Structure 1
């Protein structure tokens, strides 16, 4: 919820607040779900209202938990098959961080469970950790296909470095229980735009850098494997960026009212699912034929007849490219 909706926060609440790491903690944010409901004991309608909104959040968290659990299982299979593949570990850690958040949020419904603030701080960490996992995966692919380009690696580090800003904003923003919305964080209005500005350049830059090289190889060799990589790469990039944009716009325009901040979580789980699907699809790509199509072979033969020495040099270059990209394919899973 935006800070502009400040009527939820009473004036001067920071004066009586306790502090942790220099951050003021709202008393209502230190309650878990049961404590918040029992706080309205004696007012049956108020208790029902509070429980209804908390149940809505719980149902959403259960659905997110199912998707994160599925992504975790698929990621574990990828890691077990190829333990040295960095992308598989990134996918697994991203899914596990989502499970940790869901476990924390559902645990808030239990006696002595985590407080609202603890749940939201867990989400704040995960919302920064997830783009880092996606960015590292995309950076690794682009880095390898560009022959371990140092400038691309440097650009990747620079783009990924500001991601902890999301955690900073999430942690410093007041967290509290609200009878009309459940467990909410009162974040600054610029936060959705900051998150979009941090996520989109990473996803676009690294994906485009990877797709351009793969497309060049497809034009050169024409195999079904390269075509599949181009298609899957473009689709994954577009869907991730589309998810970032739509979810942030839904938050900005408060499409779901007080529950609009749930789109932060939806973007998180959608990105996790897309990354898992992309890595799973890459495994099937390895079973596709890598040999050049007949038309490409004939085209190369005609060129060889017209310019033998030039064709020979090009053939040697293409063979080296095939060896290098076969190695890249193995390295990134």
Structure 2
């Protein structure tokens, strides 16, 4: 059996060439875990380098996984409160897939239950799922902002069709291995970062810009402070997202950090997740204040019926305010205060010009009133 010259370092460590995986010869170093790789060091200097690289990567994974676990719990609570929200489900799936991927990574670092190839392949799968979820969120925002125009949905589906190509390239055209300082890493072809940016960069810019245009238009039309803040936050988020995509592309494509260059994909993944979660918070409030018609589901109608036929109990302060409004601000009709307030105003335009009364009629009315006749 022929051996790839790239696997000479693995043979020097005493490893044997494993079987082919899906017709592809894999690196033997990618089939072991982090602890085994450290123990295969030939001397103390090499073990020191491997421990330093492993500690750096482990601390980075722990920091990222804590953030993603927090995002997963936050988005899970949103899904529990609003299970019909598409954006809630997408942000939850994106956060949970990242948590799963980095969970495999920390398992590979601290135990022997997972090898390097499974950790890298799971991370690639999670990143592909994250890209699809981010695209769905941006498409859904543009779809709602443009009065449910289905052309945005079809455009999003067409632009996301090449997404599985990244997964295929990461699995079949890349090599997973261990390096002394970089730890478990993926040696990818030079064109893969550019292909990743070509699938995500223009898509994020186009759909984010479409939503910002509507937010700015609604702010000029309604003058709502919510739409103004949404426009500003959307613009800032778009700039950060675009800058993150371009910055991480250049760092990974040029192999700026050598063995640590792959970590910039995780940074871009984390930034995209946090921007999507942060921008979703004022979205429902802004759509409500803009005056757009929104569909009502059965839960909303049931809530309205329960509120109408089963009102909530009033607090003591509300009861006092209702009593004051009925008894003080609106006096009863038979009270003296009501007779004074409801009496018509006197006509003072003819004061000083009142004609003298008729003597006969005045005498008759006086006798009638005194009862002498």
TM-score (ref. length: structure 1)? 0.80
How far apart are the structure 1 equivalents of 2:292 and 2:124? Answer: 43
Residues 140-185 of structure 1 deviation map (CA, whole Å, 9 limit, x = unaligned): 1111222332322111101111111221111111111122421111
Residue 66 of structure 2 corresponds to which residue in structure 1? 66
Match of 1:128 in 2: 128
SS of residue paired to 2:113: coil
Aligned partner of 1:202 in structure 2 is: 203
**Residue matched to 2:192:** 191
1:255-299 CA-to-partner distances (Å, cap 9, x unmatched) read 32210111011111111111111123446x45x9938xxxxxxxx
Runs of 4+ aligned residues of structure 1 deviating over 4 Å after TM superposition are: 6-11
Aligned with 1:73: secondary structure? helix
Secondary structure of residue in 1 paired with 2:25 = strand
Deviations along 1:188-219, one digit per CA (max 9) or x if unpaired, are: 00111111111012211211222222222221
Partner of 2:232: 231
Q: Which runs of 5+ in 2 are unaligned?
A: 301-373
2:321 aligned partner? none
Matched, 1:323 2:292: yes
Residue 257 of structure 2 corresponds to 256
Count of residues paired in the alignment: 288
Whether the 8 Å contact between 1:159 and 1:201 is mirrored in structure 2 is no
Contact 2:179 2:259 in 1 (8 A): no
Instruction: Please tell me whether the aligned partners of residues 215 and 226 of structure 1 are also in contact (alpha carbons under 8 angstroms).
Output: yes
Q: CA deviation at 1:106?
A: 0.8
Q: 1: CA distance between counterparts of 2:273 and 2:207?
A: 17
Give 1:28 shift: 0.7
For 2:169 and 2:52, locate their aligned partners in 1 and report how far apart those are by CA, in whole Å.
28
**2:323 corresponds to which residue?**
none
With 111-120 and 17-26 compared, the bigger mean Cα shift is at 17-26
- C-alpha distance in structure 1 between counterparts of 2:21 and 2:149, whole Å: 43
State the match for 2:316 in structure 1. Answer: none
CA distance in 1, matches of 2:176, 2:157: 31
My pick for the range that moved more, 172-181 or 25-34, is 172-181
More helix by share: 1
Structure 1 segments unaligned to the other structure (5+ residues) = 1-5, 292-321
Aligned partner of 1:304 in structure 2 is none
Matches within 5 A, 1:266-305: 266-282=267-283, 285=285, 290=289
| Cα separation, 2, equivalents of 1:220 and 1:111 | 59
Equivalence map 1:26-41=2 (5 Å):
26-40=27-41
Q: Is 2:93 the counterpart of 1:93?
A: yes
